[in-house]
Structure 1
Amino acid sequence: MASLEDRISKPDNGQTEGQDTESSTGMNVNAASFVPGGPFSWADETAEAETNSEPSAVNAKAEKEMSDMSKAQTDGASEGLGGSSGIYDTSYEVNVKLSDLQANPDDPLFSIKSFEELGLDENVLKGIYQMRFTKPSKIQEKALPLLLRNPPTNMIGQSQSGTGKTAAFVLNMLSRLDYSPNMINTPQALVLAPSRELARQILGVIQIMGAFVQGLTSGVAIPTEVANRNRDGLKVQIVVGTPGTTMDMIRRRQLVADQIKVLVLDEADNMLDQQGLGDQCIRVKQLLPKTIQVVLFSATFPNHVVEYASRFAPNANQITLKHEELTVEGIKQLYLDCPTETDKFDALVHLYGLMTIGSSIIFVRTRKTALEIERRMNDENHTVACLTGEFEGAQRDIIIDSFRSGQTKVLITTNVLSRGIDVQTVSLVVNYDLPDDGHGKADPQTYLHRIGRTGRFGRVGVSISLICGNRSYQMIKEISDYFGVDMTSLPHDDWDKVEETIKKVIKSSRAGSNFQANNATANGTNDISM
């Protein structure tokens, strides 16, 4: 394997693809029906909005609800429900910046070591235990006391993928709802997510964590191909939706927002930084009461987005990490140098057996590439599925549910699934195309979100980036430098060694966290410190 400097100095003979088209460009709120106001949007792309207005009150045993939600992904739910369970106690430090500059962030009042310290309702605690949370994660230790304090305070929270951010803001919402009979059908909390898949997943977390809470109702405001909306509107306590659909429903009074107390933006950096979605989030906030608590959560928060987020959530407590501490410790990051684009596809064919050990996600840059790889893999008699923003809502639901249940083992997708999706069985993520910022440079934040689909809640996972040409090699160096991590090079001409390396990682336990360095030496692979 050539040295990094030699490799970068070579001319780029590899082919490159155009910028990913999976971006949202806003909605026409004045239109007679709900339609995108610009090019196709992966977040709010269909002509009509789904308004699930039937209350879903859950009994104490919650057996029926648990069965109904078995296909909905639940971040942190039990293994039987397909979500990740247990939290690895990572070593990173959480930085807290309080809105009250005279307060001491190290005060015991601003941190907890057990959920019991929060004084939660017994039925909420039961939901936490049901999700196999035994103790708070690092982000939860710091975030929950601040979220639950009264009077409510805004928050900007950042932590690694798979560390319980969703559970933190769901717990806050459940603790602030009015469950009196006359408020059962009144929206009191709103969560905005960038895609229908993530919105459905968050709804699953709410219904599982709130399974023992008497009188809890929740529903989604996401786009769907169904033409007829329920004229009565969405009458539930917690609403989870995509920004365009939610905005449209509020304007049409299908979602009455007068009593909403909490607004949550999940994957907030993407929501605020992306043209269209950011405008929609602002408009939704403007339609809500001025007294709402604003909560922003994400695994990444670039500096310029933090400044913008601070205006969106004024006087917020901030919990952040240094970007060097963001990569997930349990994910072994490998790369494979492919001489040509043809070799990249051949690598997928060689890797297929490894990809089906558990479940795997292949990330590409464009929808066209996703469909082409799906066709070619199927022609090779390899069973794969493809999910992009091009598919209608019902199709996307079927595909992602099949993947979550294990019926489909390999999923090819664009960045539409790079954020928030938690599938316990995912052991391998392949970056067929490295994510870029649209200007030829690497996009470390999207890379982090992509590989965070594996290694959930401290589990061991593997990411493999397929490199072809000088440009992509430079991009992997930029990503490695940004996070300060070492990535192991795999030999493209020795598939026995590649298979041996990946299998060892997939099958290893947390005790094998030093595998990457040891294996690189034992197998003679090149370990590049970038």
Structure 2
Amino acid sequence: MADQAAPAQEAGGVENAQTEGSGQVPISSMLQEPSYDVEVQLSDLQKDEENPLGSARTFQELGLPNEVLQGLVAMQFQKPSKVQERALPLMLSDPPRNMIAQSQSGTGKTAAFVTTVLSRVDFTKPTQPQALLLAPSRELARQIESVIGQIGQFVNNLGVATAIPGAIPRDGRVDKPIVVGTPGTTMDLIRRRQFDVSGLRVLVIDEADNMLDQQGLGDQCSRVKKMLPETIQILLFSATFPEKVLKYATVFAPSANMIKLKVQELTVKGISQMYMDCPGEADKYEILCKLYGLMNIGSSIIFVKTRESANRIQESMTRDGHKVSVLHGAYEGSERDALLDDFRTGKSKVLITTNVLARGIDVSTVSMVINYDIPMKGMGDAMHDTETYLHRIGRTGRFGRVGVSITFISDKKSFLALQAIANDLQVDLVSLSPEDWDETEKRVQRVIKSSRAQANFNPSAAP
């Protein structure tokens, strides 16, 4: 059974630990973590204890295996981020407790659950699967695999199997202690008895808002969970948790501790959010081409609604002399891996994609995200999709770096949808006009070339 592609749902993030999965040496000493408070809600079980676990100011306080500490030091992690500070003691507690964590991109959540997994696995059993990490796309699964390899680089017998389409042959077996995959492929491997789940200790679900949504991958995740040991520790992570998904999450991970941030704190702090008021739908392409020069200052991602639209825009831009690439779910897995590698390494600087890349993918050089089509959801695109917007724009402005998002509007429906998104996130969007291109270029360049964009950065007021 092929993994279902997530519908036009959210987007969100695997942080580069504090540059996760980017293939680059992390420079955590240069990171400026946004200021926010982490709210902790202990489960009833934990509340009953006389001394509930608090927070850890250093990784050494956590009692991590030496090899894991070495990996964190090698990656230049100087101290736990605020989310790691509160989440790691709870996730590493004995006996293990479930966790539901709402934590935005850029806060170190991937490193938090990877550190927990590496601490839970017994690597003297190198062929027994003990930890399963599920993600909505092969790209995100591969990125998590990369983070495990970086933090676990000093662990003896470290082995990671990828349960993604095409990775494990029909006559093969899952014979590594850590398994990272997508839910449909994982379910098939278990059903075909290629994957022995009897020794699993930890289940991690990243981008849990989409993974547990019944319109997304929820059915597959539920079926996988029913096949796993009842004693397994469940860790759910996501940048957003809509109310209906959160209710289900508390059933999926019973008696879970919870950590969360306030909604307005989820807006990525380093992004100046703008919108382009296009005269009509037919004018969007010409305006996109005019922005091409600005897209190449760093790297840029253009989000569109459909695969067909992505292909059409890429063909037109290439014909008009612009170098752009396209990536979406119609490509074979190996092609998708190669296209993303080219984008990571800078061979390709402008990437057109659908929501397949909206979640979790971290490429440190991305300075601009363009919402060519505004994210909508429901039958007939009936309603604005704030979560997808939030996750999409989170592909830039990572870890205190500068970033710009530009959303195209071309009619009353798209204007009202963007207005509703801005209200949900409590942000003011900067208007760009196609009538005054010199001023538009100045405003965008001012942000991209500034040393740091703030959440309330106003290009019109900047010196």
Match of 1:8? none
Aligned equivalents of 1:476 and 1:83: distance in 2?
37
Number of positions where the alignment pairs a residue of Structure 1 with one of Structure 2: 453
The CA deviation string for residues 14-67 of structure 1, in whole angstroms up to 9 with x for no partner, is xxxxxxxxxxxxx4xxxxxxx57xxxx4369xxxxxxxxxxxxxxxxxxxxxxx
Determine whether 1:147 maps to 2:91: yes
- Pairing 1:288–2:228 present: yes
Q: Secondary structure at the match of 1:332?
A: strand
TM-score for both structures, normalised by structure 1: 0.81
Q: Distance between the aligned counterparts of 1:395 and 1:136, measured in 2?
A: 36
* 1:164-183 superposed matches below 5 A: 164-180=108-124, 183=125
Match of 1:342 among 282, 300, 325: 282
CA contact (8 A) 2:87 2:259 kept: yes
Distance 1:393 1:384, change over 3 A: same
Rounded to whole Å, the distance in 1 between the matches of 2:403 and 2:50 is: 34
Q: Does 1:449 align with 2:391?
A: yes
Spell out structure 1 runs of 4+ moving beyond 6 A: 104-108
Q: Could you say if the C-alpha distance between residues 43 and 85 of structure 1 is closer, same or farther in structure 2, counting changes exceeding 3 Å?
A: farther
CA distance in 2, matches of 1:189, 1:470: 48
Residues 73, 204 of structure 1: 8 Å contact kept: no
The answer as to whether partners of 1:95 and 1:321 remain within 8 angstroms in 2 is yes
Return closer, same or farther for 1:104/1:85 CA change in 2, 3 Å cut-off.
farther
Tell me the equivalent position of 2:5: 42
- Structure 2 residue 26 is matched with structure 1 residue 81: no
Aligned equivalent of 2:202, options 262, 275, 279: 262
Match of residue 53 from structure 2 = 109
What is the SS of the residue equivalent to 2:193?
coil
Counterpart Cα distance in 2 of 1:370 and 1:309: 34
Match of 1:481, SS state, is helix
Which region of structure 1 is more displaced relative to structure 2, 231-240 or 203-212? 231-240
Kindly provide the CA deviation profile for residues 393-429 of structure 1, in whole angstroms up to 9, marking residues without a partner as x.
1111111111111100000001111000000111110
Measured in 2, the distance between the counterparts of 1:315 and 1:84 equals: 35
CA 1:502–1:259: 2 relative to 1, 3 Å: same
1:100 aligns with 2:44: yes
Which amino acid is 2:149 matched to?
Q
Q: Which runs of 5+ in 1 are unaligned?
A: 1-26, 28-34, 45-71, 524-530
Q: 2:34 aligns with which of 72, 75, 90?
A: 90
- One-letter amino acid of the counterpart of residue 444, structure 2: I
Residue from 192, 206, 213 that aligns with 1:252: 192
Q: Secondary structure at the match of 1:391?
A: coil
Instruction: Choose which of 128, 133, 137 in structure 1 pairs with 2:77.
Output: 133
* CA pair 73-381 structure 1, distance change in 2 beyond 3 A: farther
Q: 1:473 to 1:270 in 2, by over 3 A?
A: same
Task: Confirm or deny: 8 A CA contact 2:26 2:76 kept in the other structure.
Answer: no
The residue number in structure 2 matching 1:434 is 374
Amino acid aligned to 2:419: K
Name the CA shift for 1:336/1:186 in 2 (closer, same or farther; >3 Å): same
Residue by residue over 1:137-191, the C-alpha shift from the partner in whole angstroms, topping out at 9 and shown as x without a partner, is 12111111100010000000011112111100000000011121xx101100000
The within-5 A match list for 1:418-433 is 418-433=358-373
3-state SS of paired residue (2:231): coil
SS in 2 for 1:448: helix
* Root mean square deviation of aligned Cα: 2.3
Work out whether 1:509 is the aligned partner of 2:451. Answer: yes
1:298 and 2:238 equivalent?
A: yes
Change (3 A) 1:293 1:93: same
Distance 1:213 1:221 in 2: 21
Q: How many Å separate the matches in 2 of 1:115 and 1:249?
A: 36
Determine whether 1:371 maps to 2:311. Answer: yes
| AA at the equivalent of 1:296 | L
Moved more, 436-445 or 399-408: 436-445
Amino acid of the structure 2 residue aligned with 1:420: G
The equivalent of 2:322 in structure 1 is 382
Q: Which runs of 5+ in 2 are unaligned?
A: 8-13
SS at match of 1:134: coil
Tell me the secondary structure at the aligned position of residue 174 of structure 2.
coil
Matched residues, percent identical?
A: 55
1:236 to 176, 179, 192: 176
Conserved? CA contact 2:84–2:112, under 8 Å: yes
Q: Structure 1 residues 101, 487: CA separation in 2 closer, same or farther (over 3 Å shift)?
A: farther
